[in-house]
């Protein structure tokens, strides 16, 4: 018996095998299908996908062979096969080959391996990491067509290996992006929270100066204080938007509960403390819902608040409709506000995208609210859309999955 030689690129070859991170001893259907097909085409009882490590071989797929998962490399047929990448190594009678004549697999009285044919499996850089091989307990010989088929099947195994390597790479990239995104979210949260108190102090201080020193500050100074307060309020609103956006993941994680739609809407109206001349029409039916109340409430808060802010009518009218089927709840929020230009409808759900229009108090939006709404809706396995008539109305339709 002659033990297989070690390839000159052994280190790189082993690194290539390790990079695929195949699960040893775990049967996978896509590999088992190939070994089953190889045995059928080559008319052999045994077919293996063998991976050659530094001291052992182990079988990614074992069709028809003994119930073992690995063998020692020094007795390996495949260890010899990988020395000639690109070629099928065929041994018609192992008893007549000096490399295998007294090999334990050849001399095994219960299951002698007298025939072997193996096609090396190459990674994307050409390193032979194993073989697709067929074995028989009697002398055999493959036809040219069978050898071609074995090569083609080996290429399919190589494609599975490469696909796995790429998926592993994408998973690692995704994890890195998730980690970076998590850090950014934490950073945004910390900075936003830390900025809220100084901003609140600025707003209060501006009001105090204006009230206490009103006789000492001329009209221009009063206007400057007003501008300072407006800027601080706008920045505060911006920070609150960022916090709501990044806290939406936490909101979505809230438990699903049963509640009445009208009760939810009444709580939202109380929370918004609406002072404008505003009529909000509830759906005729007070549906009993079972879903994420916190998330649905945040969606309605943003949509109703926008309907009030971006409205130039003397009387604000907001109509809310609802329906449901076996799988989803459906909602519509329609207002008689300023509307949205048709060429901007596709942009309004993008984070930080604004329409460069002012609200009822003359302030410009920050492009966070509707992005948060879309994120919440999609997190609840739903979709949202918008339609609008400029100067007349805007209608948001969305659905969420029932619990």
Q: Could you say which residues of the chain have pLDDT below 50?
A: none
pLDDT at position 10: 92
Q: pLDDT value at position 368?
A: 72
Question: What per-residue confidence (pLDDT) applies to 209?
Answer: 82
Model pLDDT for residues 263-301, shown as the tens digit of each residue: 999 988 888 777 778 899 999 999 999 988 888 988 998
pTM of the model: 0.53
Give the pLDDT of residue 363: 60
Fold of 253-403: Heat Shock Protein 90 (3.30.565)
Q: What is the pLDDT of residue 74?
A: 93
What are the boundaries of each domain within the chain? 10-172, 253-403
pLDDT in tens, 94-132: 999 999 999 999 999 989 999 999 999 999 889 999 999
Could you write out the three-class secondary structure of the chain? CCCCCCCCCHHHHHHHHHHHCCCCCCCCHHHHHHHHHHHHHHCCCEEEEEEECCCEEEEEEEECCCCCCEEEHHHCCHHHHCCCCCCCEEECCHHHCCCCCCCHHHHCCCCCCCEEEEEEEECCCCCEEEEEEEEECCCCCCCHHHHHHHHHHHHHHHHHHHHHHHHHHHHHHHHHHHHHHHHHHHHHHHHHHHHHHHHHHHHHHHHHHHHHCCCCCCHHHHHHHHHHHHHHHHHHHHHHHHHHHHCHHHHHCCCEEEEEHHHHHHHHHHHHCCCCCEEEECCCCCCEEEEEHHHHHHHHHHHHHHHHHCCCCCCEEEEEEEEECCCEEEEEEEECCCCCCHHHCCCCCCCCCCCCCECCCCCECCCCHHHHHHHHHHHCCCCEEEEEECCCEEEEEEEEECC
- CA 305/CA 296 separation, integer angstroms: 14
pLDDT at res. 80: 95
**What pLDDT is stored for residue 358 in this prediction?**
61
Fold of 10-172: Beta-Lactamase (3.30.450)
Mean pLDDT of all residues in the chain? Answer: 86
Per-residue model confidence (pLDDT) at position 223:
82
């Amino acid at each position: 018996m002659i033990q297989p030689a070690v390839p000159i690129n052994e280190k790189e070859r082993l690194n290539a095998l390790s990079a695929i991170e195949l699960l040893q001893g775990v049967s996978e259907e896509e590999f088992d299908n190939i070994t089953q097909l190889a045995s059928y085409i080559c008319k052999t009882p045994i077919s293996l996908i063998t991976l050659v490590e530094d001291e052992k071989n182990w079988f990614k797929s074992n069709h028809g062979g003994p119930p073992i998962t690995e063998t020692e490399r020094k007795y390996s047929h495949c260890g010899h096969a990988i020395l000639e990448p690109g070629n099928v190594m065929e041994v018609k009678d192992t008893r007549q080959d000096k490399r295998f004549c007294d090999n334990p697999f050849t001399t095994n009285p219960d299951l002698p391996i007298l025939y072997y044919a193996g096609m090396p499996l190459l990674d994307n850089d050409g390193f032979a990491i194993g073989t697709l091989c067929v074995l028989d307990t009697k002398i055999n010989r493959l036809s040219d067509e069978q050898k071609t088929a074995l090569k083609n099947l080996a290429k399919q195994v190589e494609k599975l290996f490469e696909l796995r390597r790429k998926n592993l790479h994408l998973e690692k990239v995704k994890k890195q992006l998730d980690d970076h995104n998590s850090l950014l979210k934490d950073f945004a949260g910390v900075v936003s929270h830390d900025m809220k108190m100084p901003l609140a102090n600025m707003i209060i201080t501006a009001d105090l100066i204006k009230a206490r020193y009103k006789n000492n500050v001329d009209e221009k100074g009063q206007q400057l204080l007003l501008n300072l307060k407006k800027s601080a309020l706008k920045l505060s609103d911006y920070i609150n938007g960022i916090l709501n956006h990044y806290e939406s993941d936490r909101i979505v994680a809230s438990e699903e509960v049963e509640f009445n739609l009208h009760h939810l809407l009444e709580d939202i109206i109380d929370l918004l403390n609406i002072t404008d001349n505003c009529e909000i029409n509830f759906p005729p039916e007070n549906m009993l819902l079972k879903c994420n109340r916190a998330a649905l409430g945040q969606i309605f808060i943003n949509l109703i608040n926008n309907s009030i802010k971006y409205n130039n009518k003397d009387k604000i009218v907001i109509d809310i409709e609802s329906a449901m089927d076996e799988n989803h709840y459906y909602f519509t929020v329609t207002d008689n506000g300023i509307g949205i230009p048709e060429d901007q409808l596709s942009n309004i759900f993008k984070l930080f995208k604004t329409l460069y229009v002012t609200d009822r108090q003359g302030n410009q939006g920050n492009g966070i609210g509707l992005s948060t709404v879309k994120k919440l809706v999609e997190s609840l396995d739903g979709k949202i859309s918008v339609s609008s008539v400029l100067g007349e109305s805007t209608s948001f339709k969305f659905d969420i999955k029932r619990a």
